[in-house]
């Protein structure tokens, strides 16, 4: 994976979770979301990066497989 691709992947991952948590302030939410979901996004949805809508759909599809911290981020939107 090239440095540019990795950078895009991280940005896409943050974007996915930012969309899921639109109610939180961006600065607070982005750091918390990144911490909670970055590994899960790569693990379950790496093939969808950098397509944010597809990553979002993938994360929702795999919500039961997500780590507890990441799953909690998605539950906060409901």
Give the model confidence (pLDDT) of 16-55 as tens digits: 555 555 554 555 567 777 788 999 999 999 999 888 888 8
pLDDT confidence of residue 78: 47
Helix 68-75 vs helix 3-20: crossing angle, to nearest 10: 50
Domains of the chain, residue spans: 3-75
CB atoms within 10 A of CB 4: 8
Name the more confident of 77 and 50: 50
- CA distances for 34 relative to 20, 25, 63, 64, angstroms: 12, 14, 16, 18
pLDDT mean over 46-70? 91
Residue in the structure block whose two tokens are 């599809």: 61
Identify how many contiguous H helices and E strands the chain contains and give both numbers: 4, 0
């Amino acid at each position: 994976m090239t440095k540019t691709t990795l950078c895009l992947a991280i940005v896409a991952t943050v974007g996915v979770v930012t969309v899921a948590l639109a109610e939180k302030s961006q600065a607070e939410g982005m750091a918390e979301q990144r911490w909670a979901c970055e590994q899960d996004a790569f693990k379950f949805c790496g093939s969808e990066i950098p397509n944010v809508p597809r990553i979002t759909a993938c994360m929702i599809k795999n919500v039961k497989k997500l780590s507890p911290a990441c799953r909690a981020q998605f539950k906060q939107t409901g």
